[in-house]
Amino acid sequence: DVVMTQTPVSLPVSLGGQASISCRSSQSLVHSNGNTYLHWYLQKPGQSPQLLIYRVSNRFSGVPDRFSGSGSGTDFTLKISRVEPEDLGDYYCLQSTHFPYTFGAGTKLELK
């Protein structure tokens, strides 16, 4: 199985500040069709996960441009600029290039 190593586990931030979360995969996430199926989700307390970024860098409908994704191959990053209170929660990466799909262990974004 592809192991997704997500860091840091916890990320204290100040409102208005910037956050960066890393996700590294144990093998390349480039599919044979040329696409890279690496996605990012936010799970707020008591809620289901919600899609933020799909295929590395594409913002899902309604997601503010404060969220951006980048990376390639095995190394990916989610950046959040101008952090707002509604951004707090658990962030997860997911690879869906290889079966079984695998998630990172999560990063808790919390107030400093």
Partner 1 sequence: EVQLVESGGGLVQPGRSLKLSCAASGFTFSNYGMAWVRQTPTKGLEWVASISTGGGNTYYRDSVKGRFTISRDNAKNTQYLQMDSLRSEDTATYYCSTNRGDYWGQGVMVTVSS
Which region, judged by CB under 8 A, interacts with partner 1, from 14-22, 24-32, 75-83, 102-110? 102-110
Q: Which two tokens stand for residue 55?
A: 């295929």
Least distance in angstroms from the C-beta of 93 to partner 1: 10
Cα R_g (the chain), whole angstroms? 13
In terms of CB distance, is 15 or 57 closer to partner 1? Answer: 57
User: What distance lies between CA 49 and its chain's CA centroid?
Assistant: 11
The C-alpha angle 15, 6, 85, rounded to 5 degrees, equals 20
Complex with partner 1: residue 76 or 92, whichever CB lies closer: 92
Q: Candidates 11-19, 21-29, 81-89, 98-106 — which segment interacts with partner 1 by CB under 8 A?
A: 98-106
Q: CA separation (Å) from 87 to 34, 64, 71, 91, 92?
A: 31, 10, 21, 10, 13
Q: Report the nearest approach of partner 1 to the CB of residue 17 (Å).
A: 26
Cis peptide leading into residue 64 (ω within 30°): no
Q: What x/- string results for residues 39 through 58 when contact with partner 1 is judged by CB under 8 A?
A: x-x------xxxx--x----
Site for partner 1, rule CB under 8 A: 39, 41, 48-51, 54, 60, 92, 94, 96, 99-103, 105-106
